[in-house]
A and B are shown apart, each in its own frame.
Chain A
């Protein structure tokens, strides 16, 4: 869009429409007439009817618009960046995090820390993982950088706490194993884009 129309400051040549508001009465009688006209035209009841109609719809037809927070909550966008969730693999139930440390590295407020170790199965185990929510600015870089979509932003936006620097441990954020079937796939920043398949280059894996 060009900026021409903003640069044209000659108001008179623009196509403004002026509303026909009639003439403002100046004499006493005209003023009186206007008041009487407006009062007895019944426009008040037009307005009152709208309210009444919505009241009837809400009370008797079940079309209530009020959200009874905190008992009810509105659905939020998948792009909303609230308290983090750690997801599990749907097949095995094992946590997705591989302990690569990229979230820890990219975190601009330095609030992610993890401990890893060499476990009995010769794998890298994340023995502990924490996010300091007193410092987290919910920028979403961690979810975006995560190669496994293990750390994501969940929908839980209530993070008022008794302590300023409350923090979360791995278990707090991890999908409970019994609620694995309820785990939602993340669609926010860092998730696989809908056209991801088109962007994949063919690799010669003939074997």
Chain B
């Protein structure tokens, strides 16, 4: 007879083994390794929480300290490879297989380990894609998550950085998995219940508060006039033209410059209320001046940002907050919002090829994707119209019954023709292809596919790829804004001139922008301290961003 409850029984056995090291659900910080060695089994699928922001770092250290003869060959399914311990477990043999999404700071080491064959790689996903697989074919046996506080029943307060936690817990707790949470403190009563206690099996009192990376803070003092010029072109040539109200911004300096130009440059253009009102965005400190000037109606967040918590509390008309007053973020929902409810994604990249494919992978670094490829893609499941979406759709397809033409998501790449250390952004061939060949990947890690990209903005101008009618035009439109890179110098001058006459390529002067006007005096804030002043002292920047 088939036993339909074997998973359940296995789960009960794991919990029982773990209880030996716990008082009820509560586990002392120094018993983490014992707990994990009791609950985990070789070959388990483990979700170790951590993305580009918060990290279950105490549990990560515990896992790395487990005995590889007891715990080995784990299959890690996790958003981020960020901490050294995330890769240490592959060196010791505790883990073997990996499915992940983002690997910012460990990008160099993960590339080496991939080349060296120490990691058996499943795939590099977008966040939403990996979350989806948690519910289909990558469901975790054990989830190791992070929260701010918990009570003895396991009711969990995640604080402003809720991020991936509800998704990870949902997939694990309701499919016979075990959920272990690290918290900064055990309390009598949590400020708000982000995860109900009956979904949490063990609560570990961490030795230190969980780590959060201030990834979304851009110092206005480091913004250049080139970035300001690009931002001015984007505002006038794209935001204003399409009337983009609902949007997501990437984390680069270009988009941060746009945020700082809203209350100044865009205000002078009379665009207030007409653009950039509803956002799927982390609480970027550089958005503070626009919020304070009444530009922003609403912001839903993937996570929080270090130092922004007090400000968010005091601006609940704009942000999503709980009964306790603090931010409620949710990566899965915000990614969905970015995919389906935003008319534009605008962000930067490291390499763009002649077809418009872009990648942040270079020969020595595999940075992963995070959320950009999800939000930077045209969702074919979208059915609701908006002016921006319809206008973009009509530009792309000019023949046929208008009622049968779908709209297009605006996917904009904002890049300088030469990036860091004067490395050209425009290339004939993406480094990602070389990486795929060397590591035997079936798919090259492409951040945004060329057919999803609608505009490329550089200091030389805007290329509107929607208006290109064939691959040749597309290539010349890209070459036409690629400046003095090899790709740019390889342009067909006559064709680029023709594309400019058609409005496919637009130079600053075509937009009525004088490049010499691109001046730092246009920035609503020129320093982190200015942002603190704008926030009325509510923004508390981390030490590494202070110059006072």
Decide whether A and B are members of one complex.
Answer: no
- Chain B residues near A (Cβ < 8 Å): none
- Chain A residues near B (Cβ < 8 Å): none
